[in-house]
Amino acid sequence: MEYDCTIRIAGEAGQGIQTIGMSFCRIIKDCGWGLLANQDYMSRVRGGNNYYQIRLGNPPPVSFRQSIDVLVPLNAESVSLHRSILAPGGKIVIDKKNFNIIDESPAYLDAPLNAIAMDLGGKPHYYGSVALGILSGMLSMDFDIVERTLKDAFSSKGRDVEDRNVACARKGFEIGRDSPVKSPPLSAHKGASRYLLDGNEAIALGAVYAGCRFYSGYPMTPSTTIMETMAGFSTDLPLVVEQAEDEIAAINMAIGASYAGVRSMTATSGGGFALMTEGLSLAAMLETPVVIVDGQRPAPATGLPTRTEQADLDLVLHAGHGEFARAVYTPGNIKEAFELTVKAFDVSDRFQVPSVILSDQYLADMVSAVDDLGTKVVRPPRHIISKEESVEITGYRRYEITASGVSPRAIPSWISDVIYADSDEHTEDGHITEDGMIRTAMVDKRFSKKMELLRREVVDPLPVNIDGARLVLLGFGSTRGVIEDVCAQDPRKKIGCVHFSQVWPFPADALALLLNKAPAARLVTVENNAGAQLAKLIKRETLLEIDASILKYNGRPFTIEELTGRIEDYWRDHGSQTIQER
């Protein structure tokens, strides 16, 4: 990268880490730099050790490095926990007097943060604005943007609070300006991006753009902020948001709303998705569209509630009793989270099947500056009989067996005929039946024919550096950034990668065509789970032998250094040469 700097703000829950981090992200965005941010936090309201990490650079970063250039510890424990990964020449911004630190290492930028906060703010919690000012000064930012960001953040608190925060930041800015760290070149300034979004906000925006008019859910990390974002939209849009009593009620509400004619969605994590599986089957039997988001986190049971994992792949592929068609999308970044949510609604509506968006905590909380969100995405039309056509219909057969496999669908209140819907097997007009021939025809329609339609709509996997590669990394979901970065820093182009943004129906033919360009390549999956679930899916659907799987399941995402090291370990285990030497 032309410019690359990583900042970590660390401390206890309750110390304002996220507030400082998000404010700094807004400043970075408005200064015109690319950024990627994430947070690592414990499942407690106060205490423990959390951090907010921001990587800014040109071109815009897509994954994280292990090392950091600037550490801002808000308590003494954070110094000992994070100092070991400080890059050469990096700085620790700290109030040494406040933390009783006597170390004279040049790595410390000693600043009287607490004294400034008390002197200009009058209260200790202005400490964060001082730190924000120091960071902005160290990176040669425009203080006018810093001031504007703080005033926006504290506008609801009154003019006095605004002024105190700005004064604290200005003093910190003066300190930071005298101790620059990796100041970006002018070419890193590309003009402010239009949006600053996390993965859950992108999903919510995609849902609204696609025409979602009903959302139901039960709070469960990391999906909760989808509901919060949708609730915010509901004040200005024709959108109903309902917090259900549990996940079973949430999916049944969404199915009911969809049956009544509006596009609907629900979101949860693995534990909640497990409760939704009966409703998933109900949606399939009723041929009623519904979109479900599974924001993965480590399991089983409660697991690690605030960490990340990719271990629900098998669950969403096989959830529900019986056989029926479904689509499963696995976005790898903020832009894909938006685009694939729109596609999930369109496919679900067109083919009257459930669609699943498989996200995870890392993607849900990942923050990025985005320029062209939705500019090339077509707003999907409704695939439903119009009101004008409906009033003329007689002999309506909701479950008519058609050549395509898609039955006619109308809003119940628009049809003059009596309409029947049941979770039992039924005839074309909805009456319960146990006729074997009808049963066979209905299964063929709901499963085989619709799967064929879905296969024509599959999102092809994305290749990087495939031609002649000696090693091809295969990943899905949030591993996209790190596998692409590892390929990009391979000077001899011997490492390629393929990222899957859709895992069901599995794009077997498209993968085979890609791998024909690298006939001698070793195939290695990169997954945040313990069972190599993607590797097993690929083998089952393509008969391809996966040579190895690089797995991580401690609740944290891969870093560039870590994945690169694991690749080198793989080559050492299979010969004396490294990937670069082969």
Residues 478-529: tens digit of each pLDDT = 999 999 999 998 877 799 999 999 999 999 999 999 999 999 999 999 999 9
- Extract the tokens encoding 421: 């819907």
Helix (H, G, I), strand (E, B) or coil at 160: helix
Are 91 and 108 a contacting pair, CB within 8 Å?
Answer: yes
- Extract the tokens encoding 540: 């089952």
Ordered alpha helix ranges (H), 444-507: 450-456, 480-488
Average pLDDT over residues 430-442: 97
CA distance 89 to 181: 8
Instruction: Please say if the pLDDT value at position 400 is more than 90.
Output: yes
Which pLDDT score, from 0 to 100, does residue 296 have? 98
CA distance 370 to 206: 14
Type of residue at 62: V
Backbone angle region of 543, left / alpha / beta, with phi > 0 → left and psi within -120 to 50 → alpha: left
Are 496 and 483 a contacting pair, CB within 8 Å?
Answer: no
Please, what is the Cα angle at 435 between 252 and 447, to 5 degrees? 50
Which tens digits make up the pLDDT trace of 263-296?
999 999 999 999 999 999 999 999 999 999 999 9
Sequence-distant (≥ 6) Cβ neighbours of residue 429 within 8 angstroms: 396, 397, 398, 399, 420
Which pLDDT score, from 0 to 100, does residue 580 have? 45
How far, rounded to the nearest angstrom, does the alpha carbon of residue 420 sit from its chain's CA centroid? 39
Instruction: Please say if the pLDDT value at position 581 is more than 60.
Output: no
CA distance 570 to 568: 5
CA distance 379 to 509: 28
Instruction: Please say if the pLDDT value at position 189 is more than 80.
Output: no
Instruction: Please say if the pLDDT value at position 567 is more than 90.
Output: yes
Q: What percent of the chain has pLDDT over 90?
A: 83
- For the chain, domains (ranges, CATH) are 3-188 (3.40.920.10), 198-370 (3.40.50.970), 387-456 (no CATH), 462-573 (3.40.50.920)
Greater confidence, 573 or 111? Answer: 111
CA distance 337 to 329: 9
CA distance 79 to 237: 46
Which pLDDT score, from 0 to 100, does residue 101 have? 87
The band of 375, judged by pLDDT with boundaries at 50, 70 and 90, is low
Q: What are phi and psi of 212, to 5 degrees?
A: -65, 130
Buried b / exposed e along 305-333 (16+ C-beta atoms within 10 A): bbbbbbbbbebbbebbeeebbbbbbbbbb
Q: What are phi and psi of 110, to 5 degrees?
A: -75, 120
CA distance 129 to 125: 8
Sequence-distant (≥ 6) Cβ neighbours of residue 469 within 8 angstroms: 493, 494, 495, 496, 517, 518, 521
CA distance 54 to 132: 13
CA distance 246 to 146: 42
Number of helical (H) and strand (E) elements in the chain, helices listed first: 21, 20
CA distance 447 to 408: 17
Helix (H, G, I), strand (E, B) or coil at 355: strand
Q: What percent of the chain has pLDDT over 70?
A: 97
Look at the block and give the residue holding tokens 């950091």.
68
3-state secondary structure 301-342: CCCCCCCCCCCCHHHHHHCCCCCCCCEEECCCCHHHHHHHHH
Average pLDDT over residues 424-448: 97
The band of 474, judged by pLDDT with boundaries at 50, 70 and 90, is very high
Which tens digits make up the pLDDT trace of 319-365?
999 999 999 999 999 999 999 999 999 999 999 999 999 999 999 99
- Of the candidates 396, 432, 400, the residue with the CA atom closest to the CA atom of residue 414: 396
Rg of the chain, C-alpha, whole Å: 26
Which pLDDT score, from 0 to 100, does residue 579 have? 47
- Extract the tokens encoding 358: 């498989």
Q: What are phi and psi of 581, to 5 degrees?
A: -85, -15
Which pLDDT score, from 0 to 100, does residue 7 have? 97
* Half-sphere exposure for 395 (CA within 13 Å, toward CB): 1
Type of residue at 553: Y
The band of 186, judged by pLDDT with boundaries at 50, 70 and 90, is low
* Half-sphere exposure for 172 (CA within 13 Å, toward CB): 35
CA distance 550 to 159: 53
CA distance 48 to 37: 20
Which pLDDT score, from 0 to 100, does residue 46 have? 82
pTM, full prediction: 0.95
CA distance 550 to 39: 23
Which tens digits make up the pLDDT trace of 119-162?
999 998 899 999 999 999 999 999 999 999 999 989 999 999 99
Which tens digits make up the pLDDT trace of 69-104?
999 999 989 999 999 999 999 999 999 998 888 888
CA distance 52 to 6: 11
**Alpha carbon distances (Å) from 486 to 126, 311, 471, 568:** 40, 23, 11, 12
Are 133 and 114 a contacting pair, CB within 8 Å?
Answer: no
Instruction: Please say if the pLDDT value at position 582 is more than 80.
Output: no
- Extract the tokens encoding 502: 């859709």
Are 333 and 195 a contacting pair, CB within 8 Å?
Answer: no
**Alpha carbon distances (Å) from 242 to 67, 161, 214, 229, 256:** 43, 35, 8, 12, 13
Which pLDDT score, from 0 to 100, does residue 543 have? 95
The band of 309, judged by pLDDT with boundaries at 50, 70 and 90, is very high
The band of 188, judged by pLDDT with boundaries at 50, 70 and 90, is low
